[in-house]
């Protein structure tokens, strides 16, 4: 049985102020590095066979904490990047709501394609989900840890599970440095075995943006 551990990156300064990161390369802050270092031994105990990461530094540096514990190499894959947020990237969500009220309302309502050049949920799910499937296929029967981003993790896992966007709206966001566990067998396909797993979070969950 192949196992995927889909791991959200650690905290950033932009997470803390609800500023839209998207595909901008925002680094981990001190808290994020501490979260990654604390989570790494828990993930190492799962005996991963491979580590794959988004090429954005907040995910790649999160993966590096696990590399330091396991000695495994890490492969980066740009398809694992966060959702592209178009004209919203770099703005706080308060600024987005002020400048783009119609599109922000659509986004809040869960519309898959809100406008403002924001990547659609279907495109995001297919992009990240395909990367997750390829990571699993490269290590059949093994355990693969994939360091990625909150929104991408949810849609990518949903793509593998065959869940549509309405179902995924009922799935809570991943806390920083928490993960979703999926397992696959030839009879039942992909199954959700755990979600938002990790050390107890302190404070509210930063937005997956």
d(CA 105, CA 62): 32
- Give the residue from 63, 173, 172, 80 showing the smallest Cα distance to 128: 80
Q: Is 9 known to be catalytic?
A: yes
Q: Which helix (H) or strand (E) holds 148?
A: strand 143-148
Backbone angles phi, psi at 14, to 5 degrees: -75, -35
Buried residues in 165-182 as b, exposed as e (16+ CB within 10 A): beebeebebbbbbbbbbb
Catalytic choice (34, 82, 95, 103): 82
- Name the token pair of 21: 């990161």
d(CA 88, CA 136): 32
Catalytic choice (9, 104, 149, 178): 9
∠ CA 64-140-66, rounded to 5°? 15
Q: Is 104 known to be catalytic?
A: no
| Residues forming the active site | 9, 82
């Amino acid at each position: 049985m192949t196992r995927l551990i889909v791991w959200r990156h650690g905290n950033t300064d932009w997470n803390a102020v609800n500023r839209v990161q998207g595909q901008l390369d925002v680094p981990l802050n001190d808290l994020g590095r501490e979260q990654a270092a604390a989570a790494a031994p828990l993930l190492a105990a799962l005996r991963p066979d491979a580590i794959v990461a988004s090429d954005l530094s907040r995910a790649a540096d999160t993966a590096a904490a696990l590399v330091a514990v396991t000695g495994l190499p890490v492969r980066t894959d740009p398809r694992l990047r966060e959702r592209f947020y178009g004209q919203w990237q770099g703005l706080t969500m308060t600024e987005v709501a002020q400048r783009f009220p119609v599109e922000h309302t659509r986004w809040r309502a869960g519309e898959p394609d809100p406008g403002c050049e924001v990547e659609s949920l279907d495109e995001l799910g297919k992009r990240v989900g395909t990367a997750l499937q390829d990571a699993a296929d490269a290590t059949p029967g093994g355990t693969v840890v994939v360091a990625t981003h909150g929104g991408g993790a949810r849609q990518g896992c949903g793509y593998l599970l065959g869940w549509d966007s309405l179902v995924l709206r009922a799935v809570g966001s991943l806390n920083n440095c928490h993960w979703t566990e999926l397992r696959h067998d030839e009879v039942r396909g992909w199954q959700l075995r755990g979600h938002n797993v990790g050390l107890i979070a302190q404070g509210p969950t930063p937005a997956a943006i």
